[in-house]
Amino acid sequence: MPRSVPVQDTAPPLRFLIIDDNRSDAYLVRQCLDEAFTKRPPQLEHAATIDEAMSRLDGSRYDLLLIDFRLGADDGISLLRRIRARGIGTPAIFLTGYGNEEIVAQALKAGVDDYVPKGAENLPRLPDAVRHTLARFEQRRALEEAERRYRMLYEAAPVGVFQTAKDGTVLGANPAALQILGCQDLRALLGLNSRDFYADPKDRKRWMEVMESEGAVQGMEARCRRLDGQIIWARVSALAIRDGAGRLVSFEGTLEDITPRMEAEEALRRSEARKTSILDAALDAIITIDAAGRITEFNPAAERMLGYGRTEALGRELAELIIPPAFRAGHREGLARYLATSEPRILGRRIEMTAIRRDGSEFPVELAITRVPGDGPVQFTGFMRDQSERRQAEDALRRSEEQLRSSQKMEAVGRLAGGVAHDFNNLLTVIQGHSELLLARLRSDDPIRKEIEQIRKAGERAAGLTRQLLAFSRRQVLQARVLDLNEVVADMEKMLRRLIGEDIDLITRLGPRIAHVKADPGQLEQVIMNLAVNARDAMPEGGRLIIETADTTLDEKFCRAHPPTHPGPYVMLALTDTGSGMAPETLSYLFEPFFTTKEKGKGTGLGLATVYGIVKQSDGYVWVESEPGKGSSFRIYLPPVEGPAQTVEPKTGGSGVDTGSETILLVEDEPVVRELARRILEMNGYNVLEAGDVGEARRLCGTHPEPIHLLVTDVVMPVMSGRGLADALSSLRPEMRVLYMSGYTDDAIVRHGILLEGVPFLQKPFTPQRLAAKVREVLDLPRD
Ligand code: ADP
Ligand code: MG
């Protein structure tokens, strides 16, 4: 029994067209098929002539043609050719009475799908032939459909697809590939070698090697040169296609233009590189942290500033690494608050804080924080600047301003003190002089003597005070010499030991062969003594006093921190004690006259004022370092001078005889002083010519008929100084000697307060004996 074709019931019936001029044959065919396809009987139509067949085919679609070979004058083969020529691909089965092989071959060539010989014995084969033909046709159609779809994909795919021969010659490429390669027409590409598209020969080599070893290349990224010369980045994959025997036939591959991606990556790389170079070159420490406060970026400036290497710092918590313990909690809290509220209080502001270096040292920094922009995880970048130097500069400036203010103050106080001392010296000369004169006249048992002696003693004490005031005001007449500080100290050592007592160790550390200085030795002794006395007072329980001398150099840095010092070589004299030390407040008033912390009667507050004045007048500096409980160190820096030390001239006038009969011209603008001096000189036998001013002195010089042996003159006078006067008179009286008297100097007479060396000078206030002795001394000087 014929089998049925399994088809769906809902499908429309199949339409067959039988083309046969023999009606009975057609009938037999119909009968045979009707019997075979009972489940889904095909709809059978019949055409007896070629024309009829053609017109039916024009009007309808058939699923199968059953064509008799003999069709009257024509044959089925030419009919089929006509049908196929019209583009009708309906499958066809030939029915033929002749088993002629040649005809069969011709028919197959013309596009017939199968053939069945005619005759009752062959007809039963027909249903199977029909089934096979229909099935084969269906298969072919499906294949064609798949191929059509694939082609569509191939044409429309955004990815380039290409085929090459085994030597790389291009065999095909889809439109996307053409476009990627900058090519309008496939023909321009055919025959070119695909491997020549690699812009870099190294990539070409790499391609060959990978293909060789793996038979495929997966996503190789390389620069390619398009047909128009443009260079692009491409991603290429390919597969080697082999035949059944494993022989390489061709390559099949895909091609993508990844230039935009590569350019974006390149731009990103460049921007990263730029960022890195900025981070590297920045002078500020730049540190980025994440939301947990951990360091994610740490530039070279940060490395230098904080002492940590980058790799060491990355991943560490910022607070733990560079924030002093006292501020850590605050930092963490601030960060947490920001994250919770996004409150931008800390952003964009200058924050002053303290940071800590790896070595534990803390230093001030200025900080600005920004939040790293973008949608990524929260990050903050801090720009940190070391403020130590600025702070130091500010401190130095403040110190030098303070110093300037204090030196202006000292200057003003000094002028006042100097002025007072000048007038006082004249008055004290009179008080003391007259006391002495009175005492000389009274008998030793005279009851009034006691009172006068009290006056004289008070005068002496007042004279001591004015001397100190003058020293402080730097208007003291210094008798400076080139001297060796070591000698001065050595000469004083015994006396100092007595002065400070047994409970205090005196240690001297004298620098070997230190440079000489120019100073008044007596004044220098005064300086050392005042400092030693203070040291003693600061060590009531005993201690140690070290006196040092040394050559030293003050450098720029020291001088900036210690205004108004100037850099250069100096000879240093230092007295360091282990006493009570001083509070900053005491230090700030230290050198002012009458500043004392000692109880009434114990201190005058003039000791350091005197030291200050003497040192200043000698072009030196005095600096003190002290802290409460840590002792004090006073350092004096004096400029070094050339030349050998000058020894003290032996005192002349040791004769004990202060009298004489020579003629003396006495010039003094202060009448009470002049009067006193005249009386003293006359009492000692001299002939005195008295002048209250320069004019009078000149006149006397011109008119006095006898020789004038000595001019005794005050240094500071109105109109002309004593020095000017002496110079003026020396032409009139070349033989006349000169003795200057003064309690006071200023720059007009003496340079830097130091009287010219070897010029006779009498310090006011003077006693009658001192005046008489000095006059005699000058008159007795050997003539040169
Ligand atoms: P006086 O010694 O008369 O008080 P000074 O001018 O010599 O005056 O000293 C002023 C003040 O400076 C002293 O009262 C004392 O407070 C302080 N002082 C000076 N030298 C020292 C020292 N070596 N140690 C501690 N304090 C000192
Ligand atoms: Mg003192």
Q: Is residue 83 within 8 Å of 55, Cβ to Cβ?
A: no
Q: What's at 645, amino acid-wise?
A: A
pLDDT digits (tens, 9 = 90+) for 338-349: 887 776 666 777
Burial 208-241 (b: 16+ CB within 10 A, else e): eeebeeeeebeebebebbbeeeeebbbbbebebe
Q: Sorting pLDDT into bands at 50, 70 and 90, what band is 746?
A: low
β-strands 216-225, 231-242 pairing: antiparallel
> How many angstroms separate the alpha carbon of residue 729 from the centre of ligand 2?
45
Task: Provide DSSP, 25-52.
Answer: HHHHHHHHHHHH--SS--EEEEE-SHHH
Residue having the nearest C-alpha atom to atom 13 of ligand 1:
596
Report how far residue 697's alpha carbon sits from residue 736's, in angstroms, rounded to the nearest whole number.
13
Residue 152 has pLDDT above 70, yes or no: yes
Which tokens belong to 651?
A: 């005192």
Continuous segment of H or E residues that includes residue 200 = none
For 59-195, strand residue ranges (E) read 64-68, 70-71, 74-75, 92-96, 114-117, 160-165, 170-173
Closest residue by Cα to residue 549 from 466, 493, 598, 607: 493
Q: Sorting pLDDT into bands at 50, 70 and 90, what band is 752?
A: very low
Instruction: Give the residue with greater pLDDT, 760 vs 637.
Output: 637
Residue 575 CA: nearest ligand 1 atom is: 23
Report how far residue 104's alpha carbon sits from residue 94's, in angstroms, rounded to the nearest whole number.
9
- 73, with CB counted inside 10 A (0-12, 13-18, 19+), is exposed
In this prediction, residues 553-574 reach a mean pLDDT of 89
pLDDT digits (tens, 9 = 90+) for 487-518: 999 999 999 999 999 999 999 999 998 999 99
In this prediction, residues 18-44 reach a mean pLDDT of 88
pLDDT, the chain, mean: 88
The CB-based long-range contact list for 586-591 (8 Å cut-off, 24+ gap) reads 587/624, 587/626, 588/402, 588/406, 590/624, 591/410, 591/622
Q: Sorting pLDDT into bands at 50, 70 and 90, what band is 654?
A: very low
What residues pair up with 288 in beta bridges, in sequence order? 297, 381
Angle between helices 521-538 and 485-500 (to 10 degrees): 40
> How many angstroms separate the alpha carbon of residue 608 from the centre of ligand 2?
6
Report how far residue 112's alpha carbon sits from residue 89's, in angstroms, rounded to the nearest whole number.
10
Residue 1 has pLDDT above 60, yes or no: no
* Cβ of residue 586 lying under 6 Å from some atom of ligand 1: yes
> How many angstroms separate the alpha carbon of residue 599 from the centre of ligand 1?
11
Task: Provide DSSP, 672-684.
Answer: HHHHHHHHHHHHT
**Residue appearing with tokens 């140690």:** 544
Instruction: Give the residue with greater pLDDT, 447 vs 373.
Output: 447
Closest residue by Cα to residue 510 from 534, 536, 491, 485: 485
* Cβ of residue 608 lying under 6 Å from some atom of ligand 1: yes
- Count helices and strands (H / E) in the chain: 24, 30
* Cβ of residue 566 lying under 6 Å from some atom of ligand 1: no
In this prediction, residues 740-748 reach a mean pLDDT of 66
Residue 41 has pLDDT above 90, yes or no: no
Q: Sorting pLDDT into bands at 50, 70 and 90, what band is 758?
A: low
Q: What's at 346, amino acid-wise?
A: I
pLDDT digits (tens, 9 = 90+) for 528-551: 999 999 999 999 999 999 999 999
Report how far residue 678's alpha carbon sits from residue 682's, in angstroms, rounded to the nearest whole number.
6
**Phi and psi at residue 713, to the nearest 5°:** -135, 145
Closest residue by Cα to residue 639 from 568, 731, 561, 738: 568
In this prediction, residues 317-332 reach a mean pLDDT of 91
Closest residue by Cα to residue 531 from 515, 516, 519, 548: 548
Residue having the nearest C-alpha atom to atom 10 of ligand 1:
596
Q: Report the Cα–Cα distance between both ends of the chain, in Å, rounded.
A: 174
Closest residue by Cα to residue 134 from 221, 24, 14, 287: 14
pLDDT digits (tens, 9 = 90+) for 592-621: 888 999 988 788 898 999 999 899 888 999
Q: What is the pLDDT of residue 757?
A: 61
Residue 751 has pLDDT above 50, yes or no: no
Q: What is the pLDDT of residue 650?
A: 47
pLDDT digits (tens, 9 = 90+) for 626-648: 999 999 999 999 999 998 887 75
DSSP state of 751: B
Highest mean pLDDT among 104-113, 237-246, 649-658: 237-246
pLDDT digits (tens, 9 = 90+) for 388-412: 988 888 888 888 888 788 778 878 8
Please report the sign of the dihedral spanned by the C-alpha atoms of residue 749, residue 753, residue 758, residue 764: positive
Residue 591 CA: nearest ligand 1 atom is: 6
CA angle 623-628-631, nearest 5°? 60
Which residues neighbour ligand 2 (ion) by CB within 5 Å?
534, 607
Closest residue by Cα to residue 7 from 155, 134, 93: 134
Report how far residue 444's alpha carbon sits from residue 435's, in angstroms, rounded to the nearest whole number.
14
pLDDT digits (tens, 9 = 90+) for 763-783: 888 889 889 999 999 999 887
In this prediction, residues 300-314 reach a mean pLDDT of 95
Q: Residue 1: count other Cβ atoms within 10 Å of its Cβ.
A: 6
Q: What is the pLDDT of residue 727?
A: 81
> How many angstroms separate the alpha carbon of residue 269 from the centre of ligand 1?
70
Q: What is the pLDDT of residue 533?
A: 95
Residue 725 has pLDDT above 50, yes or no: yes
Q: Is residue 620 within 8 Å of 613, Cβ to Cβ?
A: no
DSSP state of 502: T
In this prediction, residues 413-431 reach a mean pLDDT of 84
Q: Is the preceding peptide bond at 564 cis, omega within 30 degrees of 0?
A: yes
Q: Is residue 677 within 8 Å of 712, Cβ to Cβ?
A: yes
* Cβ of residue 465 lying under 6 Å from some atom of ligand 1: no
* Cβ of residue 590 lying under 6 Å from some atom of ligand 1: yes
Q: Minimum-distance ligand to the CA of 613?
A: 1
Choose the residue to mutate in 596, 600, 612, 627 for probing ligand 1, maximizing ligand atoms within 8 Å of C-beta. 596
* Cβ of residue 579 lying under 6 Å from some atom of ligand 1: yes
